[in-house]
Amino acid sequence: MKSSLIAIAGLMTVFAITAAAQGTTAPDTVQAASTPASATAPTPPAGFLERNSRYQLRKGDSFDLDFPLSPEFNQTVAVQPDGYATLKGAGSVFVEGKTVPELTDTLKTAYAKILHDPIISVALRDFEKPYFIAGGQVGKPGKYDLRGPVTVSEAVAIAGGFTEKSKHSQVVLFHPTPGGVFEAKLLNIKKLLASRNLSEDVYLQPGDMVFVPQNAYSKIERYIPSANMGAYYAPTAF
């Protein structure tokens, strides 16, 4: 009987030590698993990383379809206000936001239901010229043609540069998506220009909008009673 009690006590001691060890090591395991996630910097949206991106179809654009082996399906198609295009003999497909190669693949899939291994050539017919919009505290806000690769800082310069009321450290780049939602990216142009390193300067895509907000000093400047007090403030610091 005595030996049985000793054996039971020994087993309880082993279980207690095991439980204590698990209780002390479990938090370390969770912390180790969560550390890489917290240390990893967020990846910017893919739409802001491409430099020489292909043109994406927009509402109101039109394109020609040429079927070398089935000319009866040749047609000119327009992108409707809902982003769909109606195809001869193949119904409607969603095409807004697609590049020409992506559109070609979509059309081949649609016509594969009635044609064997269809060969389709796509050519843009009528489309909106690439542009960007500059707004807020820039010299000349407005809509500008996007004639080549242009970065955010270059776009600001094209739009007349920063004004004395500009908040250089919080320039916002808005990028439209096919779903009608805008992606937003905050850029510290002041820091980029001061470091003389423009490698992180983002390239614009057609339809992007650059917005320069107003700095804090210019918002309260009219409430300052004495003009001499302006000497104690540095608008560029905001």
pLDDT values of the chain reduced to their tens digit, one per residue, 238 residues: 444 444 444 444 434 444 444 444 333 333 333 334 333 434 444 444 455 567 888 888 999 999 999 999 999 999 998 899 999 999 999 999 899 999 999 999 999 999 999 999 999 998 878 889 999 999 999 999 888 888 999 999 999 999 988 998 899 999 888 767 888 889 888 888 888 877 778 888 888 999 999 987 766 766 677 555 445 455 555 5
Supply 75's token pair. 């047609």
Pairing of strands 142-145, 131-136: antiparallel
CATH class entry, domain 62-126: alpha beta
Domain with CATH 3.10.560.10 in the chain: 131-225
Per-residue pLDDT tens digits for 91-131: 999 999 899 999 999 999 999 999 999 999 999 998 878 88
CA dihedral 175, 176, 179, 183 (to 10 degrees): 20
Domain with CATH 3.30.1950.10 in the chain: 62-126
Per-residue pLDDT tens digits for 62-73: 999 999 999 999
CB atoms within 10 A of CB 167: 23
Domain 131-225 in CATH 3.40.50.300? The answer is no
Q: How distant, in Å, are the alpha carbons of 146, 173, 188, 208 from that of 153? A: 14, 11, 10, 13
Distance CA 222, CA 56 (A): 45
Residue 79 near residue 58 (C-beta atoms within 8 A): yes
Place of tokens 């020994």: 10
Strand-pair partners of 93: 85
Supply 48's token pair. 């802001």
Distance CA 60, CA 55 (A): 14
Q: Phi and psi of 200, rounded to 5°? A: -95, 5
CB atoms within 10 A of CB 168: 22
pTM for the model: 0.52
Residues in Cβ contact with 78 at an 8 Å cutoff, skipping those fewer than 6 apart: 60, 61, 62, 85
Distance CA 179, CA 83 (A): 9
Supply 186's token pair. 């905050």
**For residue 234, which amino acid is it?**
A
